[in-house]
Amino acid sequence: MSKYIELKENLLGNDGKLSGMADDVMSKLDEINRLLEKLHDYCSRIGTPRDSKTFRKDLKDKIFSTTIELKEATELVNRMDNIDVNPNFEEQKRKQIRRLREACKKKLDEATDLMKKIEKLEKKYVQDARISVQNKEGRESFDQGNNSQSVSKQWMQMDIDEEIIRERENDIIELTKLLAEMNAMAKLQAKYIQEQGEDLEIVYNNVQETKDNTKKAEKELVDANFYKQQLVQSDTKCLIIAIIVCVVFVLLFLFSSSPESSEADPTVVVPDDSNV
């Protein structure tokens, strides 16, 4: 399960609730692996001398435990998907949860294939057992031997065989029900994975669109700042020119109003010395 450590170290590690649920899912996947390995080993014992009542009970317990662990693991992932997180982490959360879904789906498929194999072996056992019972000698042949004790023992064994066959047939019926349930779970997980993939694509497209819009806005802001600077520089130049023009006009006005300019004025009357 090392490939799922990223769940804790990244997004889910930042959220206590999600982190705890991720730990539970990974623990259940580990337990499912252990159970499936045990069931693989049990397949080689079905229909052999080691196929005892104790073995049968242990086999049914392992099948039931595997089914329960798979149910709980998938339900935990579904609950994780419904927990809200910071929008900035939504895409990462969906990716990580999808990885867990895919892991659960893979174990569902493995368990389904294995239980189909067990079902096939059980059916073969029942078929062979029935043939064996039918081929046994009937009660009349034992009566001819005048060995009533042997007859009773033989029929007792035949009765036990019939009882075992009925038990195995009931086990097959229960296993068939479990297989139908697991197939339904696998289909549902496949649907969720597909939908989540589509959602991830939408989220990715939205993120890309947001990035593009951000870049476009940044470019527009840079252009606006550039035009603003150009406008400020232009206004500054105009202001400087206006100030220079004003200074020139002031200087001209002052120069025209100075005393030196009045000496050259022809309207000034000079006194005649002859009249003195």
Q: What is the pLDDT of residues 160-173, one digit of tens each?
A: 467 788 888 999 99
Higher pLDDT, 100 or 144: 100
- How many angstroms from the chain centroid is the CA of residue 274? 124
CB 64 within 8 A of CB 38: no
For residue range 197-216, list pLDDT tens digits in order: 655 454 445 555 666 667 67
pTM of the full structure: 0.60
Class of domain 2-143+151-217 (CATH, top level): mainly alpha
The residues spanned by each domain of the chain are 2-143+151-217
Comparing 81-85, 218-222, 261-265, the range with the smallest average pLDDT is 261-265
- The two three-digit tokens of residue 5, written as one number: 């450590």
- How many angstroms from the chain centroid is the CA of residue 140? 69
pLDDT for the residue 147:
47
Say how many C-beta atoms besides its own lie within 10 A of residue 221's C-beta.
10
Higher pLDDT, 14 or 134: 134
Q: Provide long-range contacts, Cβ within 8 A and 24+ apart, for 72-77.
A: 72/28, 73/25, 73/28, 73/29, 73/32, 73/104, 73/107, 74/101, 74/104, 74/108, 74/185, 74/188, 74/189, 76/21, 76/24, 76/25, 76/28, 77/25, 77/101, 77/104
Cα–Cα distance measured from residue 234 to residue 245, given in angstroms and rounded to the nearest whole number: 17
Cα–Cα distance measured from residue 256 to residue 196, given in angstroms and rounded to the nearest whole number: 88
pLDDT for the residue 17:
75
What value does the mean pLDDT take over residues 87-101? 81
Angle of helix 53-81 relative to helix 90-134, nearest 10 degrees, comes to: 160
Cα–Cα distance measured from residue 1 to residue 30, given in angstroms and rounded to the nearest whole number: 7
Q: Is 228 helix (H, G, I), strand (E, B) or coil?
A: helix
- How many angstroms from the chain centroid is the CA of residue 209? 22
Indicate if the alpha-carbon torsion angle 95, 99, 105, 108 is positive or negative: negative
Higher pLDDT, 142 or 88: 88
Kindly indicate the confidence band of residue 55, based on its pLDDT and cuts at 50, 70 and 90.
Answer: very high
Cα–Cα distance measured from residue 33 to residue 77, given in angstroms and rounded to the nearest whole number: 17
Higher pLDDT, 273 or 22: 22
Comparing 94-98, 110-114, 170-174, 232-236, the range with the smallest average pLDDT is 232-236
Higher pLDDT, 17 or 64: 64
Q: Among 73, 32, 19, 31, which Cα is nearest to 189's?
A: 73
The Cα-based distances of 100 to 17, 27, 91 in angstroms read 16, 12, 15
How many Å is the Cα radius of gyration of the chain? 48
Cα–Cα distance measured from residue 257 to residue 251, given in angstroms and rounded to the nearest whole number: 10
Say how many C-beta atoms besides its own lie within 10 A of residue 196's C-beta.
18
Mean pLDDT of the chain: 75
Comparing 66-80, 101-115, 196-210, 218-232, the range with the smallest average pLDDT is 196-210
Cα–Cα distance measured from residue 231 to residue 242, given in angstroms and rounded to the nearest whole number: 16
pLDDT exceeds 50 at position 11: no
Percent of the chain with pLDDT strictly greater than 70: 70
Give the contacts of 119 (CB within 8 A, at least 6 positions apart). 172, 175, 176, 179
